[in-house]
Amino acid sequence: MHRNTDAKRITRRRFLKVAGAGAFAGSTLSILAACQPDTTAQSGNGGEEGGNGGDGGGNGRLNFYNWSDYVAESTIPGFEEETGATVTQDTYASNEELLAKLQAGGTGYDVIVPSDYMVAIMAKSDVIQELDFEKIPNFENVGENFRGLSYDPENRFSVPYQWGTTGILYNQAELGEINSWDLMFDEQYSVQIAMIDDVRETLGVALYRLGYSVNATDPGQLEEAKQMLIEQKPLLRGYFDSTEISPQVANGDILLGHVFSGEGILTALENEGLAYVIPSPAATRWTDNMCIPNGARNPELAHEFINYILAEEPGAELTNYTYYGTPNEAALPLIDEELQEIPEWNPPDEVFERLEVIEDVGEATRDYERIFTEVKSS
Residues found near another protein in the complex (CB under 8 A)? 22-25, 29, 31-34, 94, 96-97, 99-100, 103, 121, 124-125, 191, 194, 197, 199, 233, 236-240, 248, 251-253, 362-363, 365-366, 369-370, 373-374, 376-377
244/344 with CB nearer another protein: 244
Residue 29 beta carbon to another protein: minimum distance, rounded to whole angstroms: 7
199/332 with CB nearer another protein: 199
Burial class (CB in 10 A: 0-12, 13-18, 19+), 298: buried
345/372 with CB nearer another protein: 372
Residue 372: its H or E element: helix 364-377
Residue 339 beta carbon to another protein: minimum distance, rounded to whole angstroms: 29
Question: In angstroms, how far is the first alpha carbon of the chain from the final one?
Answer: 52
Most distant CA atoms of the chain, gap in Å: 66
Residue 32 beta carbon to another protein: minimum distance, rounded to whole angstroms: 6
Q: How far apart are CA 305 and CA 59, in angstroms?
A: 12
Residue 79 beta carbon to another protein: minimum distance, rounded to whole angstroms: 30
335/375 with CB nearer another protein: 375
Q: How far apart are CA 194 and CA 100, in angstroms?
A: 28
Residue 176 beta carbon to another protein: minimum distance, rounded to whole angstroms: 21
Rounded to 5°, angle at Cα 355 from 206 and 278: 75
Residue 238 beta carbon to another protein: minimum distance, rounded to whole angstroms: 2
Beta pairing class for 236-240 and 256-260:
unpaired
User: Helical H runs in 30-91?
Assistant: 75-83
Cβ partners under 8 Å of residue 114, min gap 6:
95, 98, 99, 122, 128, 158, 288, 289, 291
DSSP β-bridge partners for residue 355: 283
Side-chain half-sphere CA neighbours of 215 within 13 A: 13
Residue 351: its H or E element: helix 349-352
Residue 12 beta carbon to another protein: minimum distance, rounded to whole angstroms: 20
Q: How far apart are CA 264 and CA 275, in angstroms?
A: 7
Q: How far apart are CA 81 and CA 139, in angstroms?
A: 22
Q: How far apart are CA 184 and CA 193, in angstroms?
A: 6
Cis ω for the linkage preceding 281 (within 30 of 0): yes
DSSP β-bridge partners for residue 293: 128
Residue 64 beta carbon to another protein: minimum distance, rounded to whole angstroms: 22
Residue 49 beta carbon to another protein: minimum distance, rounded to whole angstroms: 25
270/300 with CB nearer another protein: 270
Q: What one-character-per-residue DSSP string does 159-193 give?
A: EEEEEEEEEEEEEHHHH----BSGGGG-GGGTT-E
